[in-house]
Structure 1
């Protein structure tokens, strides 16, 4: 059951629906798709609201940056408000990009899992990453401080998650910035100077995009330091799981398993059917640590029978684990094309 403390976005985060909705058969195609979606895979209202709020905030931030770069005399651009801009991009499908939606979903999953696990913690103890700020290793302390500050910037005034421009992969940043620039352009009269100004504003913003400032890149840097100082052990895995440090836990397990972090994340948050225990075996976790991981996260990530999953953990031999590791390391483009050909 979802915890009451799971953050719910402001009502304005929900996409507005026209009071006079299309009648009967005019809605049938959309209703059929919605009605037969797998209930287990559908977004909850909390997830939908949070993802919508993050997307609205991201688009508004990009629009403001572009507008701020425009020459004097083009102040009227954006005057209709960001809600109108987001609605226009939404209707035209310009926000329906798989990698962008996947990133929004990941942030929603992080917040959902962290909020639930944090309820189990004793009050008064400093969070795991904050404790490293005072570490005797200077590099670890500095990296932890940078991450704490970066996480703070990714919270709005209500404590809900935000998605920053630098968190976008380069390809998504290019597509979204140009879509926002075109959206700002759409309601204005045709004039080459306006097109040039908006295109230059978009390029100026993209020139400042720094994937090194992605929160995931910072986490990866922290994990490398933890490995250097010899702390990438089972105790860290147990602490991260117990304290709801889901993103850190995923990065730690990926590093220990020597597999792509995105695949580790997928097996962590959708851990049923043996996926979570396979990740635990790939990461070389001792059995007690794997059992604790299943106990902490299993009910939240789809593990229906922890005892059966731990039996799977015991049955996984070295050869099967190495075969799985080799499969995970294959290039994504290759495996995607292979699956398409297998389907005929």
Structure 2
């Protein structure tokens, strides 16, 4: 381009585009201010509340995969229904919607329960992935889960096989691409499906064609996805069934839990802990993943775990989680062992209450302050 091209006369198209440029500049100014607000908020987030880089990246991949998977189910069937009715414009528009951008933009996905589940899932899988496998004391002995699969108790063996099957479906968080299923609890899967259907509807409101036909197609497609979802197939549900089938005695629990971590099966460790304490799996998972560790040490003392077992578990978790400090754990070990078993059990009594009851108690306490 020559300098004369830049300094020549103004054409009519430029005059017509001037208001658009002004509006765009105003929008950019607003976006810049919002970006600054976000940056300031991010700077003041305390370190303990900040997602690590690998967790953030894995969470982004999981969220994208979930939207692609569930959205793909809804869009694919809705497109077929619309094309069967001659609604080509609506069908084509559905396939072009960037669902993640549409849902993330207005903060629709900032759902506490959904994000808690996804963050917990990502962290448990990252922990398992970065946990060094421990060599078995007997090299020729099958792994814990394989011994359970071969167990003569049919209920236990089938429960163990269900865990292996669920593990094979659960894609590693470091991989990309769609999932075989959402693997979400039913309530969260339902919520996500309807959010996706609503987002698709809004994006196609201005497209030519019958809006009623689009609404019917989206509703039918969403209901089809909901009908196909079975939360009992989730890895976490399978692990809880296995823990119930094992129903470990106190003297068996130490070996089972330490060996499950040695085999990098964080979900099984959390499931055994949940069953032993009589709490829900998500809470047990949170206790295991919490870098502070205090709740886990109290829980293990409530189960009468000894010094060696707690030390082995602590070291395994420290090696898998850079947020944990081995020196702090070593300094704390004597204090952990000084906790009386009965006192530990009493301190955990609130955790055994239903999750909604606990939430209500905390809400009332917060309002009373």
CA distance in 2, matches of 1:255, 1:21: 54
Equivalence for 1:285: 305
TM-score normalised according to structure 1 size: 0.82
Higher Rg of the two aligned structures: 2
1:28 aligns with 2:28: no
Residue deviations 1:137-178, cap 9 Å, x none? 333333222222221122269757986645222221222101
Matched, 1:60 2:83: no
Question: 1:302 is matched with which residue?
Answer: 324
CA distance in 1, matches of 2:328, 2:188: 38
The superposition leaves residues 200-234 of structure 1 with CA deviations (integer Å, 9 ceiling, x where unpaired) of 21122212222211211100111112227999521
Corresponding position: 1:223 with 2:239: no
Residue 130 of structure 2 corresponds to residue 116 of structure 1: yes
SS of match in other structure, 1:233: helix
What's 1:15 paired with? none
Residue 150 of structure 1: aligned partner: 166
User: Secondary structure at 1:92's aligned position in 2?
Assistant: coil
Partner of 1:239: 259
- Change in Cα spacing, 1:164 to 1:120, as seen in structure 2 (3 Å) is same
Q: CA deviation at 1:187?
A: 2.9
Aligned residue for 1:265? 285
The residue that corresponds to 1:17 in the other structure is: none
Say if 2:335 is the partner of 1:312.
yes
Matched, 1:135 2:151: yes
Which consecutive residues of structure 2, in runs of 5 or more, have no partner in the other structure? 1-27
Contact 1:114 1:246 in 2 (8 A): yes
Please list, as runs of the form range in 1=range in 2, the aligned pairs for 1:42-53 lying within 5 A after superposition: 42-53=50-61
Retained in 2: the 8 A contact 1:166–1:213?
no
Q: Return the match for 1:335 from 358, 366, 369.
A: 358
SS at match of 2:48: coil
What displacement does 1:114 show? 1.1
Q: Please, which runs of 5 or more residues in structure 1 have no aligned partner?
A: 1-19
Deviation at 1:40, TM superposition (A): 3.1
For the residue of structure 1 that corresponds to 2:49, the secondary structure is: coil
Equivalent in 24, 28, 40 of residue 48 of structure 2: 40
Structure 1 residue matching 2:348: 3-state secondary structure: helix
Whether the 8 Å CA contact 1:77–1:184 is kept in 2: the answer is: no
1:98 — aligned with what? 112
Is residue 260–residue 266 contact of structure 2 (8 Å, CA) maintained in 1? yes
Inter-partner Cα distance in structure 1 for 2:223 and 2:68:
17
Q: Which segment drifts farther, 273-282 or 157-166?
A: 157-166
Secondary structure of 1:118 counterpart: coil
Alpha-carbon offset, residue 249 of structure 1: 0.4
Q: Give the direction of change, closer, same or farther, for the CA distance of 1:230–1:311 in structure 2 (3 Å limit).
A: closer
Residue 170 in structure 1 maps to residue 153 in structure 2: no
Q: Alignment partner of 1:104: what SS?
A: helix
Query: Quick check: which one's helix share is greater?
Result: 2
Residues 42 and 147 (structure 1), Cα distance of their counterparts in 2 relative to 1, 3 Å cut: same
TM-score normalised per structure 2:
0.77
2:195 corresponds to 1:179: yes
**CA distance 1:252–1:232, change in 2 (3 Å):** farther
